[in-house]
Structure 1
Amino acid sequence: MARVEVLIVGAGPTGLVLALWLAQQGICARIVDKTAGPGTTSRALAVQARTLELYSQLGLADEVVAAGMRNPGFNLWVGGERKAHLSFARAGAHLTPYSFLLVYPQDQHEALLVRRLEQMGVPVERNTELLDFEDKGDHVTARLRMADGAEERCEATFLAGCDGARSPVRHQLGASFEGGTYEHIFYVADVKISGPAANGEVNISLDQSDFVAILSYSSDGHARLIGTVREDRAGQAEQLTFEDVSQRAIARLRLTIDEVKWFSTYHVHHRVTNRYRQGRVFLLGDAAHIHSPAGGQGMNTGIGDAINLAWKLKAVLRGEAGDSLLDSYEPERIAFAKKLVETTDRVFTFVTAEGSFADFVRMHVAPLFATAVDHIDAVKEFMFRVLSQTMVSYHDSPLSEGTAGHIKGGDRLPWVRVDGSDNYEPLAAIAWQVHVYGQASSDLRAWCEARGMALHEFAWHEAHDQAGLARDAAYLLRPDTYVALAEPGGSAQALNRYFSERGFTKFASVDVDRR
């Protein structure tokens, strides 16, 4: 019987990223997928800034950015007129190294992740289907059907279900998937376009109960369209072609469709499972949550699930922390998923609502609001933070504690660039570390040295204050780069207590110098 530390079911972006982060940390993982090969259509396109920040941990960010296309801004069109423009570069310039929306077709994205995983000695096992599994208490036994039809049993310490919205893993767990389905039929199409909106930016057009979103993914006019199907053809989804889609919003943009390369229709669901963990089995990505494509959040959220779980699995598997650490995965990720579903639900409901009042709001009230927003930098920055997922935090997590300056435990560490370098360079290590902006105490230096924990001191600068950081405070950072403890006094005792109370044996085993 094969034996691995983590069996990953599903080789979409979520499963591939989980395998990559585990392999980077020296964890023996096996990844299987029942399909014969990776997807050949673009599907998810948006890669958000927060994902790119985390990709830097594996040296993936630069390669992904080079392969994709930067969409530098967002335009809202109503009734054929551009009513608002959001410059990502301007709104996010001081927030992240990646102040743009990267558009990178999922098929190419997956191929890059697969190549990197193979370079690390972990191949994706195709035509391999999970038939069932049993949680034995101290391990999981899975039954697999191999490419030749033969069955194999695999024993794993943990099992990760990254197997999509119809997840067999979730079904066997008996976990619910509460939510609903929008009544409209939507389409996605990869097209070659020309016209005013073929400008390399994100464009969304509203026209009564019709809308279309355009995301460019090449400099020669190739783009993704997302929109609604004509009402009179909505009951014939399986026979629909591009000629059946609603054309009003497209026409208002004076957009010319020169070629349709791929077209598909679908119902949009909004659902979240009631549990992300049961014993030694976890749910990630679409197996745990699905929602409308508004804002390009889905794939990025699944990747966030994977990175959140990967370092915790490693800590437990290597005896650095107790099993209770894994209990933090669900509350941290399910809270964000529920909020995301609620937010995208409101957006989708707004752009597709029918009736004269809804049309009035969409065609007259929304443009006035958008025009106002267009002139308020603080609102633009807020919108960028939401879209880029740099606003994601874990304030209510059992792993989050303290406040120093304006930064709380559970926050993403603010990005600060000073004199050509930034405070994100040390975050390439998938490891606990401490940051001090100013000067660390001798006790804190001794504590970090005794535990082999990196301590990074940054000479105090006005930019740190502007970012909300406190001078001489200690910021304990988790391996996924979120702030675990914000300690205003820079106390070594506070860090020691943090680890002791949460069962981290690796970092609470040496006496602290209490001079």
Structure 2
Amino acid sequence: MDDVLIVGAGPTGLVLALWLKKQGIRFRIIDKSAGPGETSRAMAVQARTLELYRQLDLADAVVAAGHRNPNINLWARGKRRAHVSFADAGTDVTPYPFVLVYPQDLHERLLAERLQVLGVEVERRTELVSFEDKGDHVVARLRTPDGGEQNHEARYLAGCDGARSPIRHALGIEFEGGTYKQIFYVADVALNGLEPADEVHIALDTSDFVAVLSYGGDRNRLIGTVKDERADRPETLTFEDVGHQAIEGLGIEVRKVHWFSTYRVHHRVTGSFRRGHVFLVGDAAHVHSPAGGQGMNTGILDAINLAWKLAMVVKGQAPDSLLDSYDLERRAFARKLVDTTDRLFTFVTADGSFADFVRTRIAPVVASAAYRIESVREFMFRMISQTTLSYQESPLSEGKAGSIEGGDRLPWARSAASDNYAPLADIGWQIHVYGAARSDLRSWCERRRVPLHTFAWRPEHKKAGLQKNALYLLRPDTWVALAEPQQSTATLDRYFSARGLAPGEVL
């Protein structure tokens, strides 16, 4: 019997497989399609995703394959109204102060190849027909490539099977939300006249909207909306049919359309990310507008959140109740994200003369002025990059030291002497001390087999909100679990015993 059956080999399922493999968990990953996707809607890989990709030595490969877009240009009525520099805003926040444009189909292929190197093949043309939760494991009925069927047993089932998730439907879990009235279009094009050519451009007009993302050479992605009567016949639309007012406002000429597609967008969050031994992950659990390029990244972070918890439970280092925190942590974030992207998308696409005036005249001026304020620049970057994501309300989060609370992302604080993110390449519990570690803490870490990393106190640490000589216990997904100002080993013992956790040991 396998530990986990993963259904769906998009980025979410592949990342879950990679993280489970790194932790020594037995699994199968199946997908009913014949191969990876050939086209792509998701384009952006955010900084927080890249930070976590360091755990599998993936970050450098993804950055090298993608195209860095360090700036965003906001256009309205044919003029550039604002210029937002991520390089300036994120340079003290993350090693990755940019939006990486990397089409999902290419991203999937890279992840699948990395899984292949580790000796795991995605089982293509293999479909989940049905499943039954037996209380301590799941029995799944699979249809194999030859048309036959077989039963497969696994302790847990992970539904990474997309927005229409058959697994979610079979569980009968509600998927609350709605559908935007607009039709989205995406197009891969060759074009002339885009300046600067390696930056993101967003154009707002009275009746049109388009975003242009460059991903190297003469490859560009257009994302726009269709709002008028043409939206009633999306299946017959071509690129010539969609509004070109915003495109022309950018001063560009589309020379060739390599690929064009239309689709509707929903904004929904499922009522539960967990039901017994079955989990919903990625689009199966939440979908939202493409505003801000958050969707694929959110699914990837779902998978990483779930993977370390599954590994601890399977290895006997934690009770099954640890898995409930996956639902609590990720559903809360998904709801907040859907609300945020919904408000942003509604603003960008609102109809009416007053809405047009605010969107094309007022908003660009306000955005340009606000961005001159350093704190505003950093806040905007943190929101888009998902580096603000916190689990402070989680039962796994405790304490405060400096301005850092349990549940926060560990701040990046690189100096000439050290990079405090280097130890985070390991998937496992670890403790950081910025200053000097007490001898009893060192003994505790040796006894409990929890790595201890100390960093000579630097001004960069204080600037990042860390407290000198405090103890920061980090979860395997690198968020702060416990922030303890006094380096109390008694507090560490209470933290683990209260939750039934035993890192480095088997219960």
What is the TM-score when the length of structure 2 is the normalising length?
Answer: 0.98
- Which residue, 350, 355, 359 being the options, matches 1:358? 355
Structure-2 separation of matches of 1:254 and 1:462 = 46
How much does 1:507 deviate? 6.5
- Which residue, 30, 35, 38 being the options, matches 1:37? 35
1:155 is matched with which residue?
Answer: 153
State whether structure 2 residue 500 is matched by structure 1 residue 497.
no
Contact residue 315 and residue 506 of structure 2 kept, 8 A: no
Contact residue 8 and residue 29 of structure 2 kept, 8 A: yes
- Which residue, 202, 205, 216 being the options, matches 1:204? 202
2:446 is aligned with what amino acid? E
1:279 is matched with which residue?
Answer: 276
Structure-1 separation of matches of 2:472 and 2:207 = 49
Secondary structure, aligned partner of 1:421? coil
Structure-2 separation of matches of 1:107 and 1:227 = 20
Number of equivalent positions: 507
1:141 is matched with which residue?
Answer: 139
1:113 is matched with which residue?
Answer: 111
Contact residue 198 and residue 216 of structure 1 kept, 8 A: no
2:256 is matched with which residue?
Answer: 259
State whether structure 2 residue 340 is matched by structure 1 residue 334.
no
Structure-2 separation of matches of 1:478 and 1:367 = 40
Contact residue 450 and residue 503 of structure 2 kept, 8 A: no
State whether structure 2 residue 315 is matched by structure 1 residue 318.
yes
Structure-1 separation of matches of 2:11 and 2:194 = 33
Structure-2 separation of matches of 1:316 and 1:232 = 53
Secondary structure, aligned partner of 2:19? helix
How much does 1:198 deviate? 5.4
Secondary structure, aligned partner of 2:346? helix
Secondary structure, aligned partner of 1:343? helix
Question: Which 4+ runs in 1 deviate beyond 3 A?
Answer: 505-510
Secondary structure, aligned partner of 2:163? coil
Contact residue 164 and residue 287 of structure 1 kept, 8 A: yes
How much does 1:490 deviate? 1.0
Secondary structure, aligned partner of 1:179? strand
1:513 is matched with which residue?
Answer: none
Secondary structure, aligned partner of 1:164? coil
Contact residue 186 and residue 267 of structure 1 kept, 8 A: yes
Structure-2 separation of matches of 1:388 and 1:69 = 16
Contact residue 435 and residue 468 of structure 2 kept, 8 A: yes
Secondary structure, aligned partner of 2:233? helix
Contact residue 45 and residue 99 of structure 2 kept, 8 A: yes
State whether structure 2 residue 395 is matched by structure 1 residue 398.
yes
Structure-2 separation of matches of 1:375 and 1:323 = 49
Q: How does 1:315-464 map to 2 (within 5 A)?
A: 315-464=312-461
- Which residue, 110, 122, 131 being the options, matches 1:124? 122
The Cα offsets for residues 379-434 of structure 1, whole Å up to 9 and x where unpaired, read as 11101001101111101000000000000000000001111530000000000000
1:117 is aligned with what amino acid? L
Structure-2 separation of matches of 1:335 and 1:278 = 16
Contact residue 140 and residue 152 of structure 2 kept, 8 A: yes
How much does 1:229 deviate? 2.0
2:82 is aligned with what amino acid? A
Secondary structure, aligned partner of 1:440? coil
Unaligned runs of 5+ in 2: none
Structure-2 separation of matches of 1:209 and 1:398 = 47
Secondary structure, aligned partner of 1:417? coil
Contact residue 47 and residue 99 of structure 2 kept, 8 A: yes
How much does 1:324 deviate? 0.7
1:62 is matched with which residue?
Answer: 60
2:74 is aligned with what amino acid? L
2:32 is aligned with what amino acid? K
1:125 is aligned with what amino acid? E
Structure-1 separation of matches of 2:225 and 2:279 = 35
2:240 is matched with which residue?
Answer: 243
2:83 is aligned with what amino acid? H
Q: Which moved more, 1:193-202 or 1:348-357?
A: 193-202
2:472 is aligned with what amino acid? Y
Contact residue 86 and residue 97 of structure 2 kept, 8 A: yes
Q: Which moved more, 1:51-60 or 1:220-229?
A: 220-229
Structure-1 separation of matches of 2:296 and 2:324 = 23
2:305 is matched with which residue?
Answer: 308
Contact residue 211 and residue 227 of structure 1 kept, 8 A: yes
How much does 1:327 deviate? 0.6
Contact residue 496 and residue 507 of structure 1 kept, 8 A: no
Secondary structure, aligned partner of 1:133? strand
Structure-2 separation of matches of 1:387 and 1:393 = 14
Contact residue 500 and residue 508 of structure 1 kept, 8 A: no
How much does 1:78 deviate? 1.0
Secondary structure, aligned partner of 1:141? strand
Contact residue 230 and residue 245 of structure 1 kept, 8 A: no
How much does 1:311 deviate? 0.3
Secondary structure, aligned partner of 1:196? coil
2:213 is matched with which residue?
Answer: 215
1:476 is aligned with what amino acid? L
What is the TM-score when the length of structure 1 is the normalising length?
Answer: 0.97
Structure-2 separation of matches of 1:100 and 1:420 = 24
Q: 1:130 to 1:509 in 2, by over 3 A?
A: closer
2:62 is aligned with what amino acid? V
- Which residue, 277, 285, 295 being the options, matches 1:298? 295
2:479 is matched with which residue?
Answer: 482
Q: Identity of aligned pairs, percent? A: 66
Contact residue 317 and residue 505 of structure 2 kept, 8 A: no
Structure-2 separation of matches of 1:506 and 1:75 = 47
How much does 1:197 deviate? 4.0
How much does 1:509 deviate? 9.4
The Cα offsets for residues 12-60 of structure 1, whole Å up to 9 and x where unpaired, read as 0000000000000000010000001110113211000000000000000
Structure-1 separation of matches of 2:506 and 2:165 = 41
How much does 1:230 deviate? 5.6
Q: 1:229 to 1:437 in 2, by over 3 A?
A: same
Structure-2 separation of matches of 1:362 and 1:508 = 57
Contact residue 473 and residue 486 of structure 1 kept, 8 A: yes
- Which residue, 228, 231, 238 being the options, matches 1:231? 228
How much does 1:209 deviate? 3.2
Contact residue 54 and residue 425 of structure 2 kept, 8 A: yes
Contact residue 42 and residue 105 of structure 1 kept, 8 A: yes
Unaligned runs of 5+ in 1: 511-515
Contact residue 209 and residue 353 of structure 1 kept, 8 A: no
Contact residue 12 and residue 281 of structure 2 kept, 8 A: yes
How much does 1:508 deviate? 8.8
How much does 1:506 deviate? 4.2
Secondary structure, aligned partner of 2:343? helix
Structure-2 separation of matches of 1:61 and 1:89 = 18
Structure-2 separation of matches of 1:135 and 1:230 = 44
